[in-house]
Amino acid sequence: MIETTSRTAPTFFARLKDLWRSNRDAYIVRIRTNATVRRLNSMTDRELSDIGVSRYNIYDVAEDAARRG
């Protein structure tokens, strides 16, 4: 006897749950990014230079840090 596994499409509620999770994760990243941008913007140019960040790329650095968690 051959066993087969049938795949079914995700239910509406499973898709809704996945959508909610992805939106929640994106919101958390945005909150972390904004907090990091505020911290980096409060630093002097000298302090930023010491950590290897320029004012030009503060947002990119903050977003990368937020995505890594």
Query: SS in 3 state form for 9-36?
Result: CCCHHHHHHHHHHHHHHHHHHHHHHHHH
Output the pLDDT for position 2.
Answer: 67
CA triple 49-46-40, angle to 5 deg: 70
Give the per-residue pLDDT at 40.
97
Enumerate the domain spans of the chain.
12-68
pLDDT of 4 reads 66
Q: Which residues of the chain have pLDDT under 70?
A: 1-6
pTM tops 0.85:
no
Distance CA 4, CA 1 (A): 10
**pLDDT on residue 25:** 95
